[in-house]
Structure 1
Amino acid sequence: MDFFGRPKTDQQQQALKNKNAANAAKVDEKMIPWVEKYRPKNINDVTAQEEVVQVLRKSLETKNLPHLLFYGPPGTGKTSTILALTRDMYGPEAVKTRVLELNASDERGISVVREKVKNFARAVVSTADPGYPSPPYKIVILDEADSMTADAQAALRRIMEKYSRITRFCLVCNYVSRIIEPLASRCTKFRFKSLPREQAIGRVTEVAQLEGVDYEDGAVETLVDCAEGDLRRAMMSLQSASRMVQKSKLTASMVTELVGVIPETVIEGLRNAWGGSGSAEDIQQAVDDLIYSGYPASRVLSQLHDLVMQDQHLSSLQKAKIAMMMGSVDKALCDGADEQLQMMDLMMQASKIASQKA
């Protein structure tokens, strides 16, 4: 109804629907995490991994795709690459019926493999979208496949062989050693490397400019260095930082504080505590200050390891002994040991090792 109580025409009603849909799309766009918003839409948008992209692009042209196994560190584009490939292969509509994606959050025991995966693998291939290659097979994506049980992986072997004519499998994992050998041998392996620093900086800078994030020189570089090759982590940190600096510029110090990097002065203080007099009182004071400041021991251990490996005053043998100590402490921390006691033990042992003659 309009102002005078007259019913609106069909054209006016359609225009109103389009306007409301556009407004809803704008709201949804702001709500989407940047990791998803800027996820590659096609195979050509994938950052780095040139060798993998080149092989997959050739497979797209020939419509001949083998079973795939993507492995490598997190945040390097494994899942994004296979999803981009399926969109290029089937189109936005057919991908809904031709691709089955299961993540580690789904139950993926032997029963799921025998029922859900098997039923999808043997189903008839649906109709294709015109204008896309649409080869005559479906794709099953098993993300984080290294968390599947050995029984489930064993059950998958026969399914991959039996239905390979109409179904292809793509296994995505961080640790290829956790995939059983009979399963790995049936797949073409692609190793995803950590993103080169320059390409990661370029991608994060591009997103920051598109989102209107104001930053000082060195802030993006610090963000990428703290992410350690994980582009997903860098994107999430950038989005968190953008909320913090809406009316100011993002600086390198803000980034280090946001991502939880321990200040260099704290790490060097620990190193000096065992490298100086090495007295129990100095070490006790340094550990107490560390714990009371609320810094996580696992992060301290990581940064302290990097500092020790670059220390010119320690011999290779001393570095090896300290690294072995750090490994055992890290294992204890993962098992739930007390952080203060473990750090105290590490510092005392490291002081003893550093005082020994090379």
Structure 2
Amino acid sequence: MSDGFFNKRQKTAASEKSNNEDSKPWIEKYRPKKLEDVTAQDHAVTVLQKTLKSANLPHMLFYGPPGTGKTSTILALTKELYGLTLTKSRVLELNASDERGIAIVRDKIKNFARLTVSKPSASDLEQYPCPPYKIIILDEADSMTADAQSALRRTMENYSSVTRFCLICNYVTRIIDPLASRCSKFRFKPLDSSNALGRLQHVATEENLKFEEKVLEKILDVSQGDLRRAIMLLQSSSKIVKHLDPPVITNLAVDELAGTVPMDLINTLTTKITSMDYSDIMKFIAELKRSGWSGAAMVNQLHEYYINNDQFTKAFKNEVSWLIFGSDSKLTNGGNEHIQLASLAIGIANLYREGM
């Protein structure tokens, strides 16, 4: 009877673990568990794998665009250094954008940094390097005030024997020079399309997703190198079509979720601009606004259409850029979307009329 009880408990625990895994956001579910799983950051991964062998890490500064794997890399590194059990006591992760003042450095960070490390168990030592220091991860460190960064510099110096720091930021220029000079810098570049596409295909395969042709490419294009945003968009799209028959992720579903305007509407608008029929242009823009499409998104996509199109002259692109700059500035400052989009479209049509 006791065997039956324990088997039931084990099955229940396994079921709960499976449910927890399924309920996780995909960005956490598919976060790299090891350094070798990190996508497209070969230089950083190679250097960090070599430092793992000596287990003597320097202070580190990870910088680059969002969604390129900075946080995932340091979390994978700590797991390979300490294992899951020891990581809980050896690693302190803080989001510096939430706790950005000098008080957090003087209290929370300093108190953790000065603690001596506990001795690892024999089983942990057999499996992991378990170096005799802790790691403090400061995500979005570029949000910290200059005073807080200055205080952090002294803490790094005083407790370097028992604590290593990893600063993560998007803009390295916002980290003060005395702090940056104490860290080994690792630049995380935007993911190229092939690496990011491979990762998205892996997630789609694991989740048994069905999708239209070129949907994954569209998701990556909308995400602009941010793999985190791409995976979140893929998960949201899968939820939208889950109850459809068949449950296929469409390009239109991606456009709806991402807030981008379908290219056929952009192409129709540019065709009407080329025709220079002002009343037709105004009528079509009114229809677009009644459909709820974002004026700011349309301005951005018109910029991509005209500036990245080789059929237009440099002089024409220059004039269009000025028009788009003006409309975008007014939209950012709270201008009426309908008026600004109409003004932009009529302005570009006038360039055609002038023969540019």
Alignment match, 1:264: 263
Q: Contact 2:97/2:140 (CA < 8 Å) preserved in 1?
A: no
The structure 2 residue matched to 1:152, chosen from 144, 148, 151, is 148
The structure 2 residue matched to 1:125, chosen from 90, 101, 117, is 117
- C-alpha distance in structure 1 between counterparts of 2:352 and 2:187, whole Å: 39
| Mapped pair 1:192 → 2:191 | no
Alignment match, 2:315: 317
- Superposed CA offset, 1:279-337 (max 9, x none): 4x344334323322211122212211110113345332332343244334334333333
Cα 1:335–1:35 shift into 2, 3 Å = same
Give SS of 1:161's match: helix
Aligned length: 349
Instruction: Map residues 305-344 of structure 1 onto 2, 5 A cutoff.
Output: 305-344=303-342
Give SS of 1:102's match: strand
Matched letter for residue 180 of structure 1: I
Alignment match, 2:57: 65
Alignment match, 2:275: 276
Cα 1:217–1:348 shift into 2, 3 Å = closer
Instruction: Compute the displacement of 1:104 (Å).
Output: 4.7
Runs of 4+ aligned structure 1 residues displaced above 6 Å come to: none
- C-alpha distance in structure 2 between counterparts of 1:312 and 1:30, whole Å: 46
Matched letter for residue 255 of structure 2: T
Matched letter for residue 288 of structure 1: A
Overall identity of the aligned pairs, in %:
48
Alignment match, 1:171: 167
Cα 1:339–1:178 shift into 2, 3 Å = farther
Cα 1:278–1:103 shift into 2, 3 Å = farther
Instruction: Compute the displacement of 1:50 (Å).
Output: 0.8
Q: Contact 2:276/2:350 (CA < 8 Å) preserved in 1?
A: no
Matched letter for residue 308 of structure 1: Y
Give SS of 1:195's match: coil
| Mapped pair 1:141 → 2:140 | no
- C-alpha distance in structure 1 between counterparts of 2:43 and 2:73, whole Å: 12
- Superposed CA offset, 1:225-257 (max 9, x none): 332222112211222222234442334444334
Instruction: Compute the displacement of 1:114 (Å).
Output: 1.4
Cα 1:154–1:347 shift into 2, 3 Å = farther
| Mapped pair 1:227 → 2:223 | yes
**Structure 1 stretches lacking a partner, 5+ long:** 1-7
- Superposed CA offset, 1:182-223 (max 9, x none): 222222221111212112111111111111112344332333
- C-alpha distance in structure 2 between counterparts of 1:53 and 1:98, whole Å: 21
Alignment match, 1:244: 240
- C-alpha distance in structure 2 between counterparts of 1:171 and 1:107, whole Å: 14
Matched letter for residue 20 of structure 2: D
Q: Contact 1:76/1:192 (CA < 8 Å) preserved in 2?
A: yes
Q: Contact 1:274/1:347 (CA < 8 Å) preserved in 2?
A: yes
Matched letter for residue 126 of structure 1: S
Instruction: Compute the displacement of 1:96 (Å).
Output: 0.8
Instruction: Compute the displacement of 1:56 (Å).
Output: 0.6
Give SS of 1:241's match: helix
Q: Contact 2:55/2:131 (CA < 8 Å) preserved in 1?
A: yes
- C-alpha distance in structure 2 between counterparts of 1:325 and 1:180, whole Å: 37
- C-alpha distance in structure 1 between counterparts of 2:321 and 2:355, whole Å: 17
Alignment match, 1:5: none
Q: Contact 2:252/2:262 (CA < 8 Å) preserved in 1?
A: no
Alignment match, 2:32: 40
Cα 1:283–1:78 shift into 2, 3 Å = same
TM-score, scaled relative to structure 1: 0.89
Q: Contact 1:146/1:179 (CA < 8 Å) preserved in 2?
A: yes
Alignment match, 1:3: none
Give SS of 1:139's match: strand
Alignment match, 2:205: 209
Instruction: Compute the displacement of 1:357 (Å).
Output: 5.5
- C-alpha distance in structure 2 between counterparts of 1:278 and 1:181, whole Å: 56
Give SS of 1:93's match: helix
- Superposed CA offset, 1:71-130 (max 9, x none): 112111111011000110111111111111111563221111111111111111222332
- C-alpha distance in structure 2 between counterparts of 1:136 and 1:217, whole Å: 51
Cα 1:355–1:172 shift into 2, 3 Å = farther
Which shifted more, 339-348 or 147-156?
339-348
Cα 1:313–1:47 shift into 2, 3 Å = closer
Which shifted more, 138-147 or 304-313?
304-313
